[in-house]
Amino acid sequence: MKHLTILVPVGQNNLSSIVGPYKIFDRANTYHQQSGKQKIFQIELVGTRSQVDFYNGLFTVNPQKYISDIHKTDLIIIPSLNHNFEEAVFGNEDLISWLRKQYKLGAEIASICTGAFLLAASGVLDGKHCSTHWAAAENFNKKFPKVHLKADQLITDENGIYTNGGAYSFLNLVIYLVEKFYDRETAIYCSKVFQIDVARNMQSEFSIFNGHKKHDDEVIHEAQSYLEENFREKISIQTLAKNLNMDRRNFDRRFKKATDFTPLEYLQRIKVEAAKKSFENTRLNINEVMYDVGYNDAKAFREIFNRITGISPVDYRAKYNYFFSTK
């Protein structure tokens, strides 16, 4: 039987990403046994303290073992750190060292949402791809430049490392792991019991583009402000670069270094974010929204919107429009 370690770090408060994996893997074990097969995992909650409080002491978790008791495990799940991810990195040094050691010993590791910060702090993500909550992507990129962040991906799987996007999308990761370690039949059973969509693989449609401005390049801040204030107009990136006393190549390089996007990519995301808000809150049709955000080519608008959000303008409007949902 394999060993599954569900970590309970200190300084974090997302209880659902501890309870959820425990319940789903426990159900997968039960289903396997009822099918005449052996349990796959012994499941244990493991931490560095005998008790960890959540939501200002409203709930508590009592880990079954300390990390020092676990000399070798097969699969480790790191829960979400919610909004305390940076603090948790500094408060869990022993756990981070333990993660590094266990990976070298052959353990596979799955991080949920901002749990990727703990995993990245161990160094095992260097040179690999990972995902995390879209709202934490900018901070993650700045803190861990050696990691290839794929913030639009719901799940990544590389060399025994699994990561996923934000919030309750961890359910999709857990079903993915159930299929990987049990079988397809068990994964489908669990997806039906817990009503989890097994087909989801992107988190792009849920993201909100607020602009990447946590940098010190004032010229690029000026360029960002210009793009945000004038995105409905016909903008020449070449002219914008010239007005900022830069050639186009240097402008693109400097802009991408500061924001992780080229100027054109940044402009496209501003336009798509404005389109999303219109689809959500107005009665405008697809073409009206397209023209309003500065596009004249329906095919180009549809392709860019789909690439950034993972869903078509028509489907997005039908899914999120307030007026449709209240009919």
Closest by CA position to 29, among listed 3, 67, 8, 63: 3
Nearest to 285 by CA among 256, 254, 263, 316: 316
d(CA 146, CA 130): 11
Across 259-274, average pLDDT: 92
CATH of the domain at 247: 1.10.10.60
- Give the alpha-carbon dihedral of 237, 224, 291, 295, to 10 degrees: 40
Structural domain harbouring 286: 218-325
- CATH, residue 107: 3.40.50.880
* Co-location of 176 and 274 in the same domain: no
pLDDT tens string 177-232: 998 899 888 988 998 899 887 665 555 555 557 677 778 899 999 999 999 989 99
For residue 122, the one-letter residue type is S
Identify the burial level of 221 via C-beta atoms within 10 angstroms of its C-beta, where 0-12 means exposed, 13-18 middle and 19 or more buried.
Answer: middle
The answer on 18 and 61 residing in a single domain is yes
pTM, full prediction:
0.69
Is 213 contained in some domain?
no
Per-residue pLDDT band at 28 (split at 50, 70, 90): very high
Tell me, yes or no, whether 201 and 244 share the same domain.
Answer: no
Per-residue CA distances from 270 to 135, 215, 240, 279, 325 (Å): 16, 18, 16, 14, 25
Do 238 and 159 share a domain, yes or no? no
92-114 pLDDT, tens per residue? 999 999 999 999 999 999 999 99
Count up the domains in the chain and report the number.
2
Final residue of a structural domain among 171, 206, 241: 206
> For residue 200, is it within any domain?
yes
Write down the pLDDT at residue 64.
Answer: 97
pLDDT band per the 50, 70, 90 thresholds, residue 7: very high
Same-domain status, 236 and 287: yes
d(C-alpha 39, C-alpha 25), whole Å = 10
In a domain, 212, yes or no: no
pLDDT of residue 61: 94
306-311 mean pLDDT: 89
Residues 239, 317 within the same domain = yes
